[in-house]
Structure 1
Amino acid sequence: MHLDWSALGEVTAVSIGVTVAVVVVFALGVLGLARHEGARENPAGASALGVVQAGLCFLACAAVVAYGIYLIVPQFH
């Protein structure tokens, strides 16, 4: 049995990188929701910007999850 250690390392690095990126994008979405809630308490804040930021971030996270499911399930190919 032969293991291609460089390919295994590459897959590991990409997996860790994508995981960190998705967590950061999700955290930015939560930050956008927090800004929206903060703008409710302080009407001078930019409420719409927080909602747009959260929506885009959560949409990006959903797209990554959908792509991962597409890659795993063979009936989608």
Structure 2
Amino acid sequence: MDIEWGTLGGVFGVSLGITIVVVVMFSLGIAARARAAGEPRPARALPRRGRERWAMAVSAVCFAACLAVAGYGIDLIIPG
């Protein structure tokens, strides 16, 4: 049995890179979701609906990207 170290290193590098990207995307999604929830404002403050909607859209895109990566990984693992 012979181990192809170059291939093993490539798989390790790609796995590490994708893991970092998914963790960062998930963290950004959580941060955007928290911003969309907003903080308590005084009654006289101007509404910030545009910013809250933008933050909600960003969080949805981040979570959808994480779900897509997880789905692709499951598709690779389960035989067709």
Identity %: 42
Map of 1:21 onto structure 2: 21
Aligned ranges 1:34-49 → 2 under 5 Å: 34-38=34-38, 41-42=40-41, 43-44=47-48, 46-49=51-54
Number of aligned residue pairs: 74
Q: Which amino acid aligns with 2:9?
A: G
TM-score with structure 2 setting the length: 0.85
Map of 2:62 onto structure 1: 57
Q: Helix, strand or coil: the match of 1:41?
A: coil
Q: Helix, strand or coil: the match of 1:22?
A: helix
Q: Helix, strand or coil: the match of 2:2?
A: coil
Map of 1:72 onto structure 2: 77
Runs (4 or more) in structure 1 with deviation over 4 Å come to none
Higher relative contact order (Cα pairs below 8 Å, separated by 6+ residues)? 2
Gaps of 5+ in 2: 42-46
Q: Which amino acid aligns with 1:33?
A: R
Name the structure where helix makes up a greater proportion of residues.
Answer: 1
TM-score with structure 1 setting the length: 0.88
Gaps of 5+ in 1: none
Q: Helix, strand or coil: the match of 1:2?
A: coil
Tell me, in whole angstroms, the C-alpha distance in 1 between the residues paired with 2:17 and 2:28: 17
Considering only aligned residues, what root-mean-square deviation do their CA atoms show, in Å?
A: 1.4
Q: Which amino acid aligns with 1:54?
A: S
Question: Shift in Å at residue 67 of structure 1?
Answer: 0.4
